[in-house]
Structure 1
Amino acid sequence: MEIFSLDLGNKQVKLVSSKTIGASGSKEKTNPIKAKILPAHFLDYSDLGDQRTAVASATLDINKYKSGKDPDYEYAWGTDLHRVHAEDKFISTIGFQNRYSRREFAVLADMAIGQLALDFPESKTGILEVIVTTGVPTEDFNDTSIDSITKTLLGDHNVIINDESMNIRVKEVIVNPQPAGTAYNEVLDNEGYIIDDQESLLEEQIAVIDIGGGTLLVDTLKNMNLSDPHAQKPTGAHELYDRIVRLVVESGIRGITSYEVEQLLRHSDPREGYFYKPNKNESFSITEHVEKAISKYSRDVMNTVSTTLKGSTKIDHVLFTGGTSNLLQQAEAKREYPFARFVKDSEIANALGFYKAALATVASRSE
C-alpha cells in the first residue's frame, strides 16, 4: 500500500510519495524531486478569464481540477498560479480557527491527494489504496482537529485533473504533531530506518522552531513526544513580507505587494541583491529594505524563542525548520543557541518526516 504525505501549510502545500522521494522500487530514484511544492491557495477556474487559453496550451504550470468534495465547481491550481495576476480572487485556506472543517480545506486536501495519485497508473485504471499521513501544529493536536482531518481524508476520493479521472481510497489516516515531522526527518532515512549517528535525538530534549508562511511555532520534544514549553504565534513569513512592503513604500517606491516580495525573496540571490521590477523598463534596488526587515524579523523570532524556552538548560538541540528559516540571520540564532541546527530541506522537512515515520510504522507491523 502506498503512503501519501501531506503538509498542508497556510502558504504552501508539500507532498511526498514513493515517487517523489525516490524510494526503493521507484523509477524516479536516480533523480528524485523529494517533494511536490504548490501554493496553498487556488482559483475558481472561471476566474482565470483569458488565461485559460495559456493553461490549455500548457504554457503555464496550472491544471484544472474537479474535486468530489465540491463537484459543481472546477478549480485552477499549480505553481504558476501567481502569474495570472488574480491575487484578489485566490481561494485561501489560511486561518487560525476551524480551518480543518472548512470546505476550502477539504478541496485543497482532495487536490493534493489527486496530484500525488497522478504518478500512479493504477489510480486511473482502478482504485489506488493509500495511507495518508499529515501533521498539525501543537495547538491543533487535539481530538476535535484530528477528527476533522481524519473525516476529510479517510475514504474514497475522486479527483479529475485536466479531464483525467483518478480514484483513490484512503484506508488509514495518521495525524502527527507538526514538530515531530522535522525530528523524524533528521532521525530516519528514506526507507524509514534510524540513521546511526542521529539515534541520540530519540532520547534528547529538542526544541523545534518552525517558521512557516502564517505561523511561528516553538515546540519542545522529549523522547520524540510533545513536551512543554511551546508557543504558536501568527508571525510567520507574511509578517516579514508586509514589513518589507512598508519599508519599500515609505522610501517612495509604489505598487509592490507582499506576494511580489515573497517571489522576489524566493528567487533572488542575496549576494546579488534584491531588485523590484514593476515592468520590463524599470528596476529598483530594495536590498537595503530587505536586509533591514530580515534583521528585525530575525531578532523578533529569537525573542519569541528565548521567551518561550526561558533560558532552559535542558534543551539538547534546537532545530530551525520551515521555509522562512532560510531567511533568518543564522548568526543571531547561534549567538543565543550555539548548538542550533538549521536543517536541510527545511521547506519540506515536515512532509519528508511524516512520510518516513509512516514507513517505519508500517514496517513495524509486519515484524
Structure 2
Amino acid sequence: MREIFAIDLGNKQVKLKSSRGEYRFPSRLLLERKSGLDLATEALKVNSGIDTFQMLNEKDSFKIGEGIDKLGKNSDMRETIAFGKSRYTNAFFEKLIEYSLAKLSLDFEGETPEVEVVIGVPTEDFTKDEIKKTIVRYLNPEKKKARQHSAIINDQTINTFVVRTHLLPQPMGTIYDLVLDDAADIRNKDMITQNIALVDIGGGTVLLDSINHFEFDTINRKQEKSGVHKLLGSINSDYDGDIKPDIYEIEGIIRDGKEAEEFIYSPTVNESISMTEVIQYNIDRYTEEIIQKVVSVYKDMDQFDVVIFTGGGSSIINKELIHNSLDHVLFSENKEYSNAYGFYKYGMYVTK
C-alpha cells in the first residue's frame, strides 16, 4: 500500500503528517558553521528536536527542527518566507521539501516508501498554473512514473519515492479535516452543502475564502501579505526594553505564553521580563484588523452558515473579540495542524 505524506509548508511553520508520525517546526534553516573547537563541546551537547540536514552532493549542512530558534545564532538563519512564484523557486524552499520528505520517511525504519504527496499552497497561488506546474514537476516530473528524493539527516541517507503529487488550496485542508473523520469517512455531511467563510491566518498570508456547496466563490475572497509576521514586527517595534528580543524570540514567547496569557522574555537564566502588556495590546489590534478584513471582504455576513478560523494565527488572535464582533464563528479544533490533517485525510480518501 502506498503511503500518504501530507506537507503544509507555511511561511512561519511547517506541519507534516504520515501514518507513522507528525511534526511541526519553523520554516527556516540554520547554516551550520563548524570549527576545530567544536570537538571540545560535542560530548555533552544537547540539541533536542534538532536535526542536521544536508542535500546530496552539496557542501553546506543545516540545523533544522523545533528547537533551532533557541540556539542563538540568528545571523546564520536562512528564511523561506516569500510570496508568489519566487517562493517556490527558492533554493531554501526546495530544501524544506527535501527535509520534509526525508523526515517523514525516517519513521519507516530503513524502508524506502512509495508515497503520494498532498501539499497545499495559498489560494491565489493555486489559481496560477505556472506555480502549480513548478511544484508538481519538482516533486514528481511529468514524464517519469516516480522520482527518487534523497537527503541526509544526522549522517543517514534517506530515500523517498514520490509516485504522485496532489496539490490543494491551503484552506481546503481545514475543510477536509472537518468533513472527514480519521478513517477518511464523511462525518459532517451538512458542511458539504453549507456556505462557509474561511479565514486562514498563516505566518505570511491571511487567506479569506468562501466555499458554497463545496465550490470556491471567486468573488468573496482575498489573499493578503499580512500574516503573523506583521504582528511579530509590530511587537518588535513597540517594545522599548533595554534588552530587545528579535522576532524569532517573540514568536517563541507568544507560543509559550498564550495559554496562560502571560508573556515572559528571559534573555538569560537570571532575568525574566514581562512583555504581557505590549504583546496583548498588539494581539488585540491585530485581531481588530482581521475583523475589519473579514467584514470588508465578505460584506453580507448573514449569507454564511459558519465563519471558520484556522491557521497558526487563529490560536494567537483574541477569540473574545472575534466572537463579540462576528456570528456563527468556529475555530478549527486542530488549529495550525488542521490543514496538514486535512491534506492527509484527503489523500486517504482519494486513494481508497
Q: TM-score, normalised by structure 2?
A: 0.91
Structure 1 residues 122, 239: closer, same or farther in 2, change over 3 A? same
Structure 2 residue ranges without an equivalent (≥5):
141-146
Structure 1 residues 315, 101: closer, same or farther in 2, change over 3 A? same
Query: Which SS does the other structure have where 1:77 is aligned?
Result: strand
Aligned partner of 2:349 among 336, 360, 364 = 360
Aligned partner of 2:239 among 231, 245, 248 = 248
TM-aligned CA deviation for residue 64 of structure 1: 1.5
Amino acid in the other structure paired with 1:40: S
Match of 1:128 in 2: 113
How many angstroms apart in 2 are the aligned matches of 1:85 and 1:349?
A: 30
Match of 2:122 in 1: 137
How many angstroms apart in 2 are the aligned matches of 1:9 and 1:290?
A: 23
Once the two structures are overlaid, the 10-residue window that deviates more, 41-50 or 181-190, is 41-50
How many angstroms apart in 1 are the aligned matches of 2:268 and 2:252?
A: 15
TM-aligned CA deviation for residue 314 of structure 1: 2.1
Once the two structures are overlaid, the 10-residue window that deviates more, 310-319 or 150-159, is 310-319
Structure 1 residues 78, 133: closer, same or farther in 2, change over 3 A? same
Match of 2:90 in 1: 102
TM-aligned CA deviation for residue 179 of structure 1: 1.0
Structure 1 residues 71, 56: closer, same or farther in 2, change over 3 A? farther
Matches of residues 152-167 of structure 1 in structure 2 within 5 Å? 152-154=138-140, 155-167=147-159
Match of 1:211 in 2: 201
Number of aligned residues: 341
Structure 1 residues 145, 49: closer, same or farther in 2, change over 3 A? farther
How many angstroms apart in 2 are the aligned matches of 1:49 and 1:81?
A: 22
Query: Which SS does the other structure have where 1:319 is aligned?
Result: strand
Structure 1 residues 283, 74: closer, same or farther in 2, change over 3 A? closer
CA RMSD for the aligned pairs? 2.0
How many angstroms apart in 2 are the aligned matches of 1:268 and 1:49?
A: 38
Query: Which SS does the other structure have where 2:107 is aligned?
Result: coil
Matches of residues 1-367 of structure 1 in structure 2 within 5 Å? 1-20=2-21, 35-46=22-33, 59-60=46-47, 61-68=49-56, 71-97=58-84, 98-123=86-111, 127-141=112-126, 142-154=128-140, 155-195=147-187, 198-228=188-218, 229-249=220-240, 252-268=241-257, 270-271=259-260, 273-363=262-352
Contact 1:47–1:89 (CA<8 Å) still a contact in 2?
A: no
TM-aligned CA deviation for residue 50 of structure 1: 6.4
How many angstroms apart in 2 are the aligned matches of 1:51 and 1:263?
A: 27
Query: Which SS does the other structure have where 1:219 is aligned?
Result: strand
Structure 1 residues 49, 326: closer, same or farther in 2, change over 3 A? farther
TM-aligned CA deviation for residue 167 of structure 1: 1.3
How many angstroms apart in 2 are the aligned matches of 1:15 and 1:75?
A: 19
How many angstroms apart in 1 are the aligned matches of 2:293 and 2:37?
A: 45
Percent identity, please: 32
How many angstroms apart in 2 are the aligned matches of 1:55 and 1:150?
A: 40
TM-aligned CA deviation for residue 138 of structure 1: 0.8
TM-aligned CA deviation for residue 259 of structure 1: 1.4
Query: Which SS does the other structure have where 1:96 is aligned?
Result: coil
Query: Which SS does the other structure have where 1:73 is aligned?
Result: coil
TM-aligned CA deviation for residue 355 of structure 1: 0.6
Instruction: Encode CA deviations 1:210-258: one digit per residue, 9 max, x unaligned.
Output: 1111111111112223213111111111111122222221xx4432222
Structure 1 residues 57, 66: closer, same or farther in 2, change over 3 A? farther
TM-aligned CA deviation for residue 177 of structure 1: 0.9
How many angstroms apart in 1 are the aligned matches of 2:39 and 2:80?
A: 23
